Amino acid sequence: MSETDDVRALMEADRWIDRVRSQKTHLPELNELSSLEGQLRQLLKDLHEAELVVAPVKSEYEGVARESAHLKDRARDLDARLSSSTANARELTAIQGELTHVRELLAANEDRELELLMQVEPLDERVVAIKATAQPAASRRGELIDLIAQLRATLDDELVALRESRTATAAPLSAPLLARYEAALKHSGTSGAAQVIDGRCDGCRIALSPLDYDRFKSLAPDTLMDCPECGRLLLP
């Protein structure tokens, strides 16, 4: 193989490494994960809002329900006293009066209790519905995180293998040529060489000036010039 072929093989090895590296950061699963996480953040916000709305209504409902229970007990006691009482007529009238009052309070309280219950139910349902929507999204998120980790590990293994074979591919290059190649790679990324296609460097995609293109075409075999724009070694 000529030195030009050796450089070409190294360029191809580096371009392959670059493709695998970019696959790692452009996994379609990463897009799905990011949109899913956006959705989950919104659902969490909705959930907090729904819980904030339901909390005071629920707490008032619970207070009113406790009060109803208390009034029921009181009415039961008074009832029992009325039916078993040995009290005189005046006391009986007083107990009867209190019982009537307690029953009125209880009726009003139970109306309010029912009213609050009617408010709590749809608010609670909203909380439950948000949780139900979030649940499959959250488990899909878990799956995606695992899947991404697996895919990245596979690509990392592939990169290790590609880097090993790249070392073998770089071995035949002379030290000065390899140094030029590595310097161009460090400067421009992806690869240290590029091909000239239709008068254009396919590394930086910039067309050579007519003068540079003439120079490129008249180079002696195995003599490589740098791209004037990106510095990569130019290959025919």
Task: Tell me whether residue 109 or residue 191 sits nearer to Zn ion (CB atom).
Answer: 191
Q: Can residue 230 be called a binding residue for Zn ion (CB under 5 A)?
A: yes
Q: Can residue 224 be called a binding residue for Zn ion (CB under 5 A)?
A: no
Region from 54-62, 74-82, 160-168, 199-207 binding Zn ion, contact rule CB under 5 A: 199-207
Burial class (CB in 10 A: 0-12, 13-18, 19+), 208: buried
Residue 52 Cα to chain centre, angstroms = 25
Q: What whole-number distance in Å separates Cα of residue 9 and Cα of residue 191?
A: 11
Q: What whole-number distance in Å separates Cα of residue 41 and Cα of residue 45?
A: 6
Structure-derived torsion over alpha carbons of residues 150, 151, 155, 160, reported in degrees to the nearest 10: 0
Q: Which residue in the block uniquely carries the two structure tokens 């293994």?
A: 157
Structure tokens at 58: 């629920």
Residue 230 Cα to chain centre, angstroms = 37
Rounded least distance, CB 19 to Zn ion, Å: 19
Q: What whole-number distance in Å separates Cα of residue 127 and Cα of residue 235?
A: 64
Q: Can residue 201 be called a binding residue for Zn ion (CB under 5 A)?
A: yes
CB of 222 closer than 8 Å to CB of 231: no
Task: Tell me whether residue 117 or residue 204 sits nearer to Zn ion (CB atom).
Answer: 204
Rounded least distance, CB 228 to Zn ion, Å: 8
Task: Tell me whether residue 15 or residue 103 sits nearer to Zn ion (CB atom).
Answer: 15
Q: Can residue 98 be called a binding residue for Zn ion (CB under 5 A)?
A: no
Q: Can residue 193 be called a binding residue for Zn ion (CB under 5 A)?
A: no
Task: Tell me whether residue 18 or residue 229 sits nearer to Zn ion (CB atom).
Answer: 229
DSSP state of 85: -
Figure out which of the listed residues 17, 134, 181, 203 binds Zn ion, where binding follows CB under 5 A: 203
Q: Name the nearest CA neighbour of 231 among 199, 197, 170, 189.
A: 189
Q: How many residues bind Zn ion (CB under 5 A)?
A: 6
Task: Tell me whether residue 10 or residue 50 sits nearer to Zn ion (CB atom).
Answer: 10
Site string for Zn ion, 52-91 (x = CB under 5 A): ----------------------------------------
Task: Tell me whether residue 61 or residue 216 sits nearer to Zn ion (CB atom).
Answer: 216
For Zn ion, the binding residues (CB under 5 A) are 201, 203-204, 227, 229-230
